[in-house]
Amino acid sequence: MKIEICASTVEALLGAVALKADRVELCSNLEQGGLTPSSGFIRMAMNLGLNTQVLIRPRPGGFVYNQDEIALIFNEVEWLSNMGVEGIVVGLITE
């Protein structure tokens, strides 16, 4: 069994290390359903040696995005790939 922790705080990252979680899914603003976290938070998780999966969600609300938002998501994917994260988490639907 693999253990993944959804982490939106430094405390959650440190807990993931202490619990030897298999990976973390990073996000911010869980009270809004989760948004893309900051670059510093992502770097901290990676520096702690955690298998880092990053949520890409540019705004709260639904998961139907316009073309500009989709372009932003693709830019985030490229940036995170270059940053060296293990994976990304994205949700998109059509109307």
pLDDT at 94 over 90: no
pTM of the model: 0.92
Averaged pLDDT of the chain: 96
- Residues 93, 89: Cα–Cα separation, whole Å: 14
Residue 57 has which token pair? 């969600």
**Partners of 24 in beta bridges:** 5, 52
Secondary structure of the chain: what % helix, strand, coil (to 5)? Answer: 40, 20, 40
Residue 9 pLDDT: 97
CB neighbours of residue 7 within 10 Å: 27
Residue 11 has which token pair? 């405390």
